[in-house]
Amino acid sequence: MTAKQILPGATLGVLGGGQLGRMFCVAARTMGYRVVVLDPDPHCGAGHIADMHICADYTDQYALQEMAGQCDAITLEFENIPSESVRFIADKTTVYPVAESLEIAQNRDLEKQFAQKAGLQPAPYLAIQQESDLRKAADKVGFPAILKSNTMGYDGKGQYVVNNYSELGDAYADVGKVDCVLEKKIDIRCEISAIVARNAAAEMASFPVSENQHRNGILHMSIVPARVSDEITQLAIENASLLADAMSYVGILAVEFFVSDDDTLYFNEMAPRPHNSGHYTRDACVTSQFEQQVRMMCGLKPGDTRLMSPVVMVNMLGDLWLPDWLIIFTRNNVKLHLYGKTEARPGRKMGHFNVLAEDVGSALIEAESVFNALSGD
**Residue choice 32, 119, 217, 347 for contact with ligand ATP (CB under 6 A):** 217
Q: Are 36 and 56 in contact (CB under 8 A)?
A: no
Query: Please, which residue, 281 or 287, has the CB nearer to ligand ATP?
Result: 281
Q: Please state whether the peptide bond connecting residue 97 to the residue before it is cis, i.e. omega within 30 degrees of 0.
A: yes
Q: Which residues, including other chains, have CB under 8 Å from residue 12's CB and lie 6 or more apart?
A: 6, 28, 33, 34, 35, 36, 71, 72, 73, 74, 75, 294, 297, 298
123 belongs to the binding site for ligand ATP (CB under 6 A): yes
296-355 residues in contact with ligand ATP (CB under 6 A) are: none
**Residue 163 Cα to chain centre, angstroms:** 29
66 forms part of the interface with ligand ATP (CB under 6 A): no
Q: In the window 247-306, what residues touch Mg ion (CB under 5 A)?
A: 256
> Measuring CA to CA, which residue among 265, 240, 20, 276 is closest to residue 155?
276
Size of the site for ligand ATP (CB under 6 A): 20
User: Could you say which of 140, 157, 227, 301 contacts ligand ATP (CB under 6 A)?
Assistant: 157
Stretch that binds ligand ATP, among 34-42, 75-83, 177-185, 295-303 (CB under 6 A): 177-185
Q: Which amino acid is at 84?
A: E
Q: What is the CA radius of gyration of the chain?
A: 20
Give the residue at shortest CB distance from ligand ATP.
186
Q: Are 306 and 206 in contact (CB under 8 A)?
A: no
Asked if 147 is part of the footprint of ligand ATP (rule: CB under 6 A), the reply reads no
Q: How far apart are CA 295 and CA 251, in angstroms?
A: 9
Instruction: Choose, by CB under 6 A, the member of 268, 287, 288, 293 that binds ligand ATP.
Output: 268
308 in Cβ contact with 360 (< 8 Å)? no
Residue 211 or 256: the one with the smaller Cβ distance to Mg ion is: 256
Among 8, 32, 142, 156, binds ligand ATP (CB under 6 A): 156
**Number of amino acids touching Mg ion (CB under 5 A):** 1
User: Is residue 191 close enough to count as binding ligand ATP by CB under 6 A?
Assistant: yes
Residue pair 196/237 in contact by the 8 Å Cβ criterion: yes
| Start-to-end Cα distance in the chain | 57
Q: What CA–CA distances, in Å, run from 191 to 261, 286, 366?
A: 11, 24, 21
x/- site string to ligand ATP, residues 227 to 266, per CB under 6 A? -----------------------------x----------
Closer of 49 and 145 to Mg ion (Cβ)? 145
| Chosen residue from 29, 87, 185, 348 binding ligand ATP by CB under 6 A | 185
Given the rule CB under 5 A, which residues bind Mg ion?
256
Given the rule CB under 6 A, which residues bind ligand ATP?
123, 146, 148, 153-157, 159, 183-186, 188, 191, 214, 217, 256, 268-269
